[in-house]
Structure 1
Amino acid sequence: MDSPPEADLSTDELFARTLQGDEEDAGAWRAIWQLHHRGGEDVFQRAAAWLQSSSAKERGRGANVLAQLDFRNRSPELVARFTDALLPALAKEQDAAVLEAMAAALGHLGDPRAVPALLPLKDHPDAHVRFGVVMGLSGHRDAQALQALIHLSRDFDETVREWATFTLGSQAREVDTLELREALVERLSEDHPKIRGEALLGLALRKDARALEPLRRVLEEGVVTTLDVEAAQALEDVSLLPPLRELRESVNEEDDDPEFRAVLFEAIHVLESLSR
């Protein structure tokens, strides 16, 4: 017999279902999303209680539920209340998977009190925790958060570096400091196309001329990603039109990514309009 849809389950049944499978189990996450939508005091109390459980999985799922609980109508008072539940739990947590979940939950909540709580974890030996710290700090723009993200953009783990560079380059595009730009320039030597692309785009959005020649080399000789093409458009340097046009000639409409083609054609259109 098929399982009933999540919306028909009781709150008890939904919490039980969040524990099925591994951390990425699709059914568990559907139950978590249903709890987010259901919201209310009962869901909050159960999730907060799970933060104190002897089971690491329950503690992690409690954080997953609190992350976006009542997200459609979440007042500052609710954000503060959910953060009040998470911060003391984070301070005593030792399990890496739970630390990652709690850090990411704090990122969803956006309470500035999360910043000093997360800073001690930026050098945690587990890369998953450091990734959680990036997620937790991604919405903050104060000096401490940005300094930690710059530090994490130099992390030896590629995923941590990629997301920290993305946060600094694109998400925090309204921030423009010398130190932030230098951190992005450091990532131009990356072999990883996405990390390099995030750095190029971040510099291009700030109209930093140091992006031009590395970007030209990528367009002419390298593995070109959507990020590189977006960077060419953002930099608004018409000298990039020739390699972009050559790239357009090599695109196979049947085999290539339609999103890549759309971004490429848009970049060419924008630069051609600037050259007129």
Structure 2
Amino acid sequence: MSSPPEADLSTDELFARTLQGDEEDEDAWFAIWQLHHRGGEEIFQRAAAWLQSASPKERGRGANILSQLDFRHRPPERIARFVDALLPALAKEQDAAVLQAMTAALGHLGDDRRGVPALLSLREHPDAHVRFGVVMGLSRFRDAQVLQALIQLSRDSDEIVREWATFTLGSQAREVDTPELREALVDRLSESNVKIRGEALLGLALRKDARVLEPLRRVLEGPGVTTLDVEAAQALEDVSLLPLLRGHREAFNQEDEDHEFRAVLFEAIHALESLSR
């Protein structure tokens, strides 16, 4: 397999390319990815210097680069240096897009002792982009304060924040099971947003919470069933849902249906049929 063209660019060229386009520009992110792989002291120093730039774009890209720099080998002392660079910049940052990049970077760095307090301090920030970054930053941590913040954010006024907080609580933190977490997921069952509702259904099903059976049955009886709903049926392991899943299989139009949904549906049916034998 040949190397991506970014591998042949100089460090100067890669840094310049990270600034092109908007925040989600594909070529810019390929350049960031290449800097992550290339690693080393020079790239760290340049990214850290960008955190102090007058340009919001450079400050955000500095955080993007530091977030996963040297990810293949980052001893604790190196992570500490990255956090040392980020925290003072975060404390004085006002730009919402930059704060989102910085909070996500703290999550990637995984320093719970210093990163978590900084993230928690922004959980009620007035800008939804920042609160979304807080969810991303907190998603890998599991202590009680973090879980309480994620529960709070699962009730956020912004749909994207609610969706990702519910996903984090429901699926990513599936090893955690508390009454408060379950209640937060139950609260999201009434969502009109099918993704949020689906994440709540799946999170409760993974914990075998009996309260999810009837809401899940009603969803499977209606139109617009999603892969999350089917995954919840499989996770709950209640064979009474099999006829509903088989009904969706029989309604398939081979040419029009989503192949991912089809694969998830057939897997769920197979799993529940195995349980019923």
Q: Within the alignment, does 1:191 sit opposite 2:188 as a pair?
A: no
Paired position in structure 1 for 2:51? 51
Measure how far apart 1:252 and its partner are.
Answer: 1.8
Q: How does 1:226-241 map to 2 (within 5 A)?
A: 226-241=227-242
Separation of aligned partners in 2, 1:219 and 1:75: 48
Separation of aligned partners in 1, 2:108 and 2:256: 37
For 1:154, give the aligned amino acid: R
Q: How does 1:163-174 map to 2 (within 5 A)?
A: 163-174=164-175
Unaligned 5+ segments in structure 2 are: none
Paired position in structure 2 for 1:30? 30
Paired position in structure 1 for 2:94? 94
What SS does the aligned partner of 2:240 have?
A: helix
Q: How does 1:170-185 map to 2 (within 5 A)?
A: 170-185=171-186
Separation of aligned partners in 1, 2:215 and 2:32: 43
Unaligned 5+ segments in structure 1 are: none
Q: How does 1:53-68 map to 2 (within 5 A)?
A: 53-68=53-68
Paired position in structure 1 for 2:160? 159
Paired position in structure 2 for 1:85? 85
Q: Within the alignment, does 1:124 sit opposite 2:125 as a pair?
A: yes
What SS does the aligned partner of 1:72 have?
A: coil
For 2:38, give the aligned amino acid: R
Separation of aligned partners in 1, 2:147 and 2:81: 25
Paired position in structure 1 for 2:215? 214
For 2:234, give the aligned amino acid: Q
For 2:272, give the aligned amino acid: L
Measure how far apart 1:254 and its partner are.
Answer: 1.6
For 2:266, give the aligned amino acid: F
What SS does the aligned partner of 2:121 have?
A: helix
- C-alpha distance after superposition, 1:97-123 (max 9, x if no partner): 000000011111111021110112111
TM-score (norm 2): 0.96
What SS does the aligned partner of 1:73 have?
A: coil
TM-score (norm 1): 0.97
Paired position in structure 2 for 1:201? 202
Measure how far apart 1:222 and its partner are.
Answer: 3.7
Could you list the structure 1 runs, at least 4 aligned residues long, displaced by more than 6 angstroms after superposition.
none
Paired position in structure 1 for 2:250? 249
Deviates more, 1:20-29 or 1:175-184: 20-29
- C-alpha distance after superposition, 1:55-94 (max 9, x if no partner): 1111000000001101112222222221111111111111
Paired position in structure 1 for 2:138? 137
Separation of aligned partners in 2, 1:152 and 1:222: 29
Deviates more, 1:165-174 or 1:264-273: 264-273
**Two-structure CA RMSD over aligned residues (Å):** 1.1
Separation of aligned partners in 1, 2:224 and 2:157: 22
Separation of aligned partners in 1, 2:37 and 2:252: 43
Separation of aligned partners in 2, 1:192 and 1:89: 36
What SS does the aligned partner of 1:23 have?
A: coil
Measure how far apart 1:30 and its partner are.
Answer: 1.2
Deviates more, 1:226-235 or 1:117-126: 117-126
- C-alpha distance after superposition, 1:214-264 (max 9, x if no partner): 000000014211000000000000110111110111122221111111111
Percent of matched pairs sharing the same residue: 84
Measure how far apart 1:5 and its partner are.
Answer: 2.4
Separation of aligned partners in 1, 2:53 and 2:7: 26
- C-alpha distance after superposition, 1:129-154 (max 9, x if no partner): 11000000000000111111000000
Separation of aligned partners in 1, 2:119 and 2:76: 20
Separation of aligned partners in 2, 1:8 and 1:245: 52
Paired position in structure 2 for 1:14? 14
